[in-house]
Structure 1
């Protein structure tokens, strides 16, 4: 997870088990991401 954070930043999406999962590692960005969806 730390490697992905270093490569892609605090918010990134990965394909796991055939589903896209978005990780938000900075709690202050959560509302920004939710507003854009």
Structure 2
């Protein structure tokens, strides 16, 4: 019974991490394009 909440929280953490990584990549690309142009 204790395993299920732990797994769900791990999935949520992984999802947040992937979203943060995407946000960082997008912001990095947008700033680089801004400086190039």
TM-score by length of 1: 0.26
Higher strand share: 1
More helix by share: 2
Q: Which has the higher contact order (CA 8 A, sep 6+)?
A: 1
